[in-house]
């Protein structure tokens, strides 16, 4: 019989930045866990494709808590297998976009909302982590910065609340570790509401050079991202940016309550990822 401890926690989306960070924190604390991915890329990672129910039983065997990415394609089957396997708690990485009135019809929110509803209708204790904008969205500018070309912005004055992925990792750890924190929804924002131009200026300060940008039309931006961002999703992004153009987003203190410290700033994120923008 193996002396290897049974995994208490399943971490899905194992190749994602939050899942990788969470796995590192669990390992450092000696917490038994199983990392899972649609395409396992490291020893010990099991295959769990959230669109393929055939991969669920092995991934969930012996698990009591799950860190789950919001893939809706087979969520009913995942919930059924999780209940059968004896899972007690699911922590979902959702999105604050579900709070919009048109969430069910929005490509940005529909999948997250469908997974939330399936979990909340189940007997599983569910914790919802709803981040706003990931600071890592700025990585989409790396090609322009490396090539020396201006960043194209359809709405330069659109605000967001960039959240450092390390804060999301710590928030997930907190609700997995402390049962008293689970079973509710948290809206997770960064410490500041920043426009795209403000983010570029802060990133430029980190890199030691100004970052030029150029306002472009909706149609030009859509044509440039064609093949990378599906049309309906691109339209939803443009509508989201238009709605926040010149309007700071609301901030919460949920991250600080979970992690015990103020959220990391965009300056911190820029310093942590500066190499990604250097040629």
Question: Which neighbouring-strand residues pair with 126?
Answer: 90
Largest Cα–Cα distance of the chain, in whole Å? 64
**DSSP strand pairing (213-215 vs 89-93):** unpaired
| Same domain assignment for residues 104 and 153 | no
259, part of any domain: no
| Same domain assignment for residues 118 and 3 | yes
Alpha carbon distance 10, 27 (integer Å): 13
| Same domain assignment for residues 35 and 122 | yes
| Same domain assignment for residues 125 and 220 | no
| Same domain assignment for residues 104 and 140 | no
Alpha carbon distance 133, 237 (integer Å): 11
258, part of any domain: no
| Same domain assignment for residues 105 and 159 | no
pLDDT of residue 85: 97
Residue 48, domain extent: 1-131
Element (H, E) at 151: strand 151-153
184, part of any domain: no
Say what the alpha-carbon torsion angle 40, 45, 47, 51 is, to the nearest 10 degrees.
-80
Alpha carbon distance 20, 36 (integer Å): 10
Residues recorded for the chain: 279
Ramachandran quadrant class, 29 (left: phi over 0; alpha: psi -120 to 50; beta: rest):
alpha
CATH code (residue 92): 3.40.50.720
| Same domain assignment for residues 148 and 275 | yes
Output DSSP code: residue 4.
S
66, part of any domain: yes
255, part of any domain: no
Contact 184, 249 (CB under 8 A): no
| Same domain assignment for residues 89 and 139 | no
| Same domain assignment for residues 60 and 159 | no
Burial of 123 (0-12, 13-18, 19+ CB in 10 A): exposed
35, part of any domain: yes
Burial of 271 (0-12, 13-18, 19+ CB in 10 A): middle
pLDDT in tens, the chain (279 residues): 344 455 699 999 999 999 999 999 999 999 999 999 998 877 789 999 999 999 999 999 999 999 999 999 999 999 999 999 999 999 999 999 999 988 999 999 999 999 999 999 999 999 999 999 999 999 999 989 988 899 999 999 999 999 999 999 999 999 999 989 999 999 999 999 999 999 999 999 999 999 999 999 999 999 999 988 999 999 999 999 999 999 999 999 999 999 999 999 999 999 999 999 987
| Same domain assignment for residues 155 and 236 | yes
Q: End of a domain among 131, 148, 171?
A: 131
| Number of domains, the chain | 2
| Same domain assignment for residues 138 and 106 | no
Alpha carbon distance 201, 197 (integer Å): 6
């Amino acid at each position: 019989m193996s002396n290897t401890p049974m995994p208490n926690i399943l971490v899905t989306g194992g190749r994602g930045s939050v899942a990788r960070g969470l796995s590192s924190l669990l390992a450092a604390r000696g917490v038994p866990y199983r990392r899972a991915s649609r395409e396992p890329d490291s020893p010990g990672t099991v295959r769990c494709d959230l669109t393929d129910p055939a991969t669920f039983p092995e991934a969930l065997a012996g698990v009591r808590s799950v860190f789950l990415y919001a893939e809706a394609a087979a969520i009913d089957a995942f919930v059924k297998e999780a209940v059968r396997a004896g899972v007690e708690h699911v922590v979902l990485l959702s999105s604050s976009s579900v709070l919009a009135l048109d969430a069910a019809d929005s490509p940005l929110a529909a999948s997250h909302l469908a997974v939330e509803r399936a979990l909340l209708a189940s007997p599983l204790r569910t914790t919802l982590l709803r981040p706003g904008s990931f600071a890592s969205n700025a990585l989409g500018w790396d090609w322009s910065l490396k090539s020396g070309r201006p960043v194209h912005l359809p709405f330069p004055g659109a605000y967001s609340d960039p959240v450092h992925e390390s804060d999301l990792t710590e928030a997930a750890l907190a609700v997995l570790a402390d049962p008293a924190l689970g079973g509710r929804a948290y809206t997770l924002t960064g410490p500041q509401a920043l426009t795209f131009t403000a983010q570029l200026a802060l990133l430029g300060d980190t890199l030691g050079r100004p970052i030029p940008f150029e306002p472009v039309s909706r149609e030009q931006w859509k044509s440039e991202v064609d093949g990378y961002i599906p049309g309906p999703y691109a339209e939803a992004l443009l509508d989201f940016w238009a709605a926040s153009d010149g309007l700071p987003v609301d901030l919460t203190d949920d991250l600080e309550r979970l992690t015990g410290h103020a959220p990391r700033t965009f300056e911190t994120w820029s310093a942590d990822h500066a190499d990604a923008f250097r040629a």
